[in-house]
Amino acid sequence: MLEARGITVRLGRRAVLCGVDFEALAGHLTAIVGPNGSGKTTLLRALTGDLSHGGRVRLNGQDIADLRPWALAGLRGVLPQATPLAFPFTAAEVVRLGLTGGVEAGAAGLVPQALARVGLAGFEGRYYQELSGGEQQRVQLARVLAQVWEPVAHGAPRWLFLDEPVSSLDIGHQLQVMEIARDFADRGGGVVAVMHDLNLTAMFADRVALISEGRVLGLGLPGAVLRDDLLSAAYRCPIRVNTPPARGTYLLPHAAGRVAAE
C-alpha cells in the first residue's frame, strides 16, 4: 500500500502542492489526472522520493525517507515524463541499466524479454539516440520493467510510477502500454500513472485522483471522479461524460456549438 499524508511542496517561491493526501493499493492501477501545471509530476516525484517535501510517504508500510536508494530501487521503478540520455548507449544497454538496483540485478536475460514486452524485439543493438521519440519512450519503459520485473518480490508488492507513459505513443502502442500496466497490477503489483487521456483512464484505471492547482479534487472509483462537474471545473472547459448503451464509459471534449459530422 502507498500512503501519502499532507504532502506539501514548494518549488522556487511557489507552493505547488498544498497538503495533498493520496493513497493507492497494490493490485490497482491508480491514475492521476488534471490539467497542465496542476502538480501531477510534482506529486509523483514526491511519491518516488525525488523531492524534499513536507508530509510523509509510506510505501508498503515503510517511510520512504528512511529507505536507501538501492532499497527503494528494489521496491519501485519510475518512468519519468522525459529521460535525457548522455553517451551513445544501445537500447539493450539502456534497459540493462534498470538491472542496477532491483532484485533481478544481473539477470541479463531479462533485457531482450523486457524489450519484447514493449514491442521492440530485435532493437537490442540499435543506438538509443537513433530511435524515434515513441521508441525511446518504450525503451525507457522496458528499462523500468526490467528493474521491477516481478510485481511481487519476497511476498511484498512492487510499484510502478509512470509519468504520462503513453503521451508520445500511437493508439496501438498506447493500448499495449496500458495493458502492460494493467497486467502488472493484476499480478499483484501497484501502478500509479499520470494520465492525460481520460478515455484510457476510464478504460484501465481502478482508482482516479483528479488534481487541480495543487489540490486533490477527488480520489476514488473512476465513475465517482470522472464526472461532468468535477472535470469541467478542473479543466476549465465543458466536458460531458457519456456512457454508451454497450458497457463502458467514454468521454469527448464538448465544444459548444460544434458537432462532428455524421
Partner 1 sequence: MVAISPDSAPTVQGWDRGAQARRVTLLLVVALGGMSVFSLTVGAAGTSPWAVLADMIAGREVSLADRVVLFEIRLPRLVLGALVGAALAVSGAVMQGLFRNPLADPGLVGVSAGAGLGAIAAIVLGGLLPAGLAAALGYYAVPVAAFLGGWAATLVLYGIATRRGRTSVATMLLGGIALGALAGALSGILVYMADDAQLRDLTFWGLGSLAGATWAKLAAAVPLMVLALVAAPMLARGLNGLALGEAAAFHIGIPVQRLKAVAILTVAGATGAAVAVSGGIGFVGIVVPHLLRLATGPDHRYLLVNSALLGAALLILADVISRIVIAPAELPIGIVTAVLGGPFFLWILLRKRGVLDL
Which chain residues interact with Mg ion by CB under 5 A? 41, 81
Within residues 176-205, the interface with ligand ATP by CB under 6 A covers none
For 202, the grid coordinates are 476510464
Q: What is the bridge-based pairing of β-strands 62-63 and 54-59?
A: antiparallel
Where do contacts with partner 1 occur on this chain (CB under 8 A)?
Answer: 45, 48-50, 52, 68-74, 76-78, 80, 83-94, 97-98, 100-102, 104-113, 124-125, 127, 129, 143, 147, 149-150
3-state helix, strand, coil in the chain (%, to 5): 30, 30, 40
Q: What is the nearest approach in angstroms of ligand ATP to the Cβ of residue 5?
A: 19
Q: Which residues are 7's β-sheet partners?
A: 20
Alpha-carbon span 141 to 212, nearest angstrom: 27
Q: Is 36 in the site for ligand ATP (CB under 6 A)?
A: yes
Residue 174 makes contact with ligand ATP by CB under 6 A: no
- Partner from partner 1, ligand ATP, Mg ion, none binding residue 36, C-beta < 5-8 Å depending on class: ligand ATP
Q: For 20, how many CA atoms within 13 A lie in the half-sphere containing its CB? A: 33
- By beta carbon distance, the residue nearest ligand ATP is 41
Binds ligand ATP by CB under 6 A, chosen from 40, 96, 117, 143: 40
Compute the least distance from the CB of residue 194 to partner 1, in Å.
15
Binding ligand ATP (rule: CB under 6 A), the pick from 6, 37, 133, 223 is 37
Q: Which is nearer to Mg ion, 32 or 111 (CB)?
A: 32
Q: Whole-angstrom Cα distance, residue 192 to residue 2? A: 10
Give SS3 for 161. Answer: strand
**Which among 84, 78, 82, 71 is positioned nearest to 98, based on CA atoms?**
78
Tell me how far apart the terminal alpha carbons of the chain are, to the nearest angstrom: 47
Determine, following the binding rule CB under 6 A, whether residue 16 of this chain makes contact with ligand ATP. Answer: yes
Q: Which does 12 bind (CB under 5 to 8 A by kind): ligand ATP, Mg ion, partner 1, none?
A: ligand ATP
DSSP labels for 92-122?
A: HHHHHHTTTTSTTTT-TTHHHHHHHHTT-TT
52 is an interface residue for ligand ATP by CB under 6 A: no
Nearer to partner 1, 19 or 80 (CB): 80
Closest CB 167 distance from Mg ion, rounded Å: 9
Q: Is there binding between residue 207 and ligand ATP (CB under 6 A)?
A: no
State the SS3 of 1-20: CEEEEEEEEEECCEEEEEEE
If you search the block for the grid coordinates 477527488, which residue do you land on? 218
How far apart are CB 38 and Mg ion at their closest, in Å?
Answer: 9
The binding site for ligand ATP (CB under 6 A) comprises: 11-12, 14, 16, 34, 36-42, 81
